[in-house]
Structures are given as structure tokens and as C-alpha cells.
Amino acid sequence: MTTLVLGVGHPDRGDDAAGPLVAEALLGTPGIDARAVTADPSALLGQAGWDTASQVVLIDTVRTGARPGSIHYWSGTELLEHLPATGGGTHDLGVATTLQLAAALDRLPANLTVIGIEGVRFTFGAAPTAAVERAVAVVTGALSRGSWIGID
């Protein structure tokens, strides 16, 4: 069984790089198909394995007001219950809208885990903060050991 790990974010915008950094660190890990999704999140639905992988783990930087570097994890269904009603953006769909769209199309993976890493710095060209770098290492280690996968 292969777990599809999708790290969402922009590699050049400070803490938003957390998802791609985790995906990069997991490349080559047995049992894990890790990919960085560095642009329009609606591309998640076109990823090979989105509809078929036994487990899908999505990692993204979030802003909830928690301490920077805090790690949140939700099952896909749990997260959907707490997402606000959405409208349209101008340029792409965003992770929240993409997950809701997947649910509306009955294409939400049966076993989806969403890991959020609390970010604080999103300046273009900035490196991730030390707190987020530590969180990236923690999440990478946990996923490589099989933790936090399939909590739904």
C-alpha cells in the first residue's frame, strides 16, 4: 500500500514552503509517494493516486492564530465540517475550496489526513522561520515512521 503525500505551498514564500519541504524530504521513502504541489491547489484533483491511493496526506501552511510552528492535524471529513462556506477567488481555488469541491464531486479520498503547519512569515524570498523548519522536521519524521496517516 502506498500513501500519497502532497505538500502544498510556494517554495519562495517563507513559511508557505513547509508543505513542499516535507514532500521533498520524503522523496524515496518506501511506501510513500511524495509530491510538492507548488501552485494552484485544484491541481490536487488531477494528481495520479488522488482517487485511488489507500491513504492521502495533505500538508499545507495554515494561519489559525496558534503559535508559529504548531502542528495541526485533521481527518478530511473533520476538516470539512469546520471550513467556512466559500466563494470564488480570482486566480485559483485554494486548498479549502479544492477539498470542498472534491467532496461535492464525491472525490474526497476515503482516507485523507490534512496536516497544517502554523506559519507566520510569508514574504517573497524569505526563508521559513526556525519554528516552521522544526515543524517540517517533526512532520517528516512522523510520516516516515507511518504516524498521522489514516486517522480518519
Partner 1 sequence: MSHTHDRTISVEALARVEGEGAMHVEVTDGRVDKVQLRIYEPPRFFEAMLRGRSYVEPVDITARICGICPVAYQFSAINALESLCLGPDHQPPAGIRQLRRLLYCGEWIESHVLHIFLLHAPDFLGYAGAIEMAADHRELVEMALRLRKAGNQILEVIGGRAIHPINVRLGGFHRTPTRAELGTLEDELTWGREAAIEATRLVAGFDFPALDQEHTFVSLRPEPETLPPGATGYPIDGGRVVSSTGLDISVEEWPEHFYEEHVAHSTALHGRLRDGGNYLVGPAARFSLNADRLPDDLRALADEVGCTPPVTNPFRSIIVRALETVYAFDEALRLIAAYEPPTVPAIDVPATAGTGHGATEAPRGILYHRYTLAADGTITDAAIVPPTSQNQPAIEEDLVDFVQAHLHLADDDLQWQCEQAIRNYDPCISCSTHFLDLTVIRR
Q: Which residues bind partner 1 (CB under 8 A)?
A: 8, 10-13, 16, 37-43, 45-46, 60-65, 83-97, 100-101, 103-105, 116, 119, 122, 124-125
What nine digits make up the cell of 79? 476538516
106: Cα within 13 Å, side-chain hemisphere: 0
In whole angstroms, the minimum distance from the beta carbon of 147 to partner 1 comes to 22
Q: Whose Cβ is closer to partner 1: residue 64's or residue 147's?
A: 64
In whole angstroms, the minimum distance from the beta carbon of 145 to partner 1 comes to 26
Q: Distance between CA 144 and CA 81 in Å, rounded?
A: 28
Which residue in this structure is represented by grid cell 515512521? Answer: 145
In whole angstroms, the minimum distance from the beta carbon of 38 to partner 1 comes to 5
Q: Whose Cβ is closer to partner 1: residue 51's or residue 152's?
A: 51
Q: Whose Cβ is closer to partner 1: residue 1's or residue 87's?
A: 87
Q: Whose Cβ is closer to partner 1: residue 38's or residue 144's?
A: 38
Q: Distance between CA 118 and CA 100 in Å, rounded?
A: 21
> 81: closest CA among 99, 66, 95, 105?
99
In whole angstroms, the minimum distance from the beta carbon of 144 to partner 1 comes to 23
Q: Whose Cβ is closer to partner 1: residue 25's or residue 101's?
A: 101
In whole angstroms, the minimum distance from the beta carbon of 127 to partner 1 comes to 14
Q: Distance between CA 17 and CA 53 in Å, rounded?
A: 24
Q: What are 118's strand-pairing partners?
A: 62
Q: Distance between CA 13 and CA 32 in Å, rounded?
A: 26
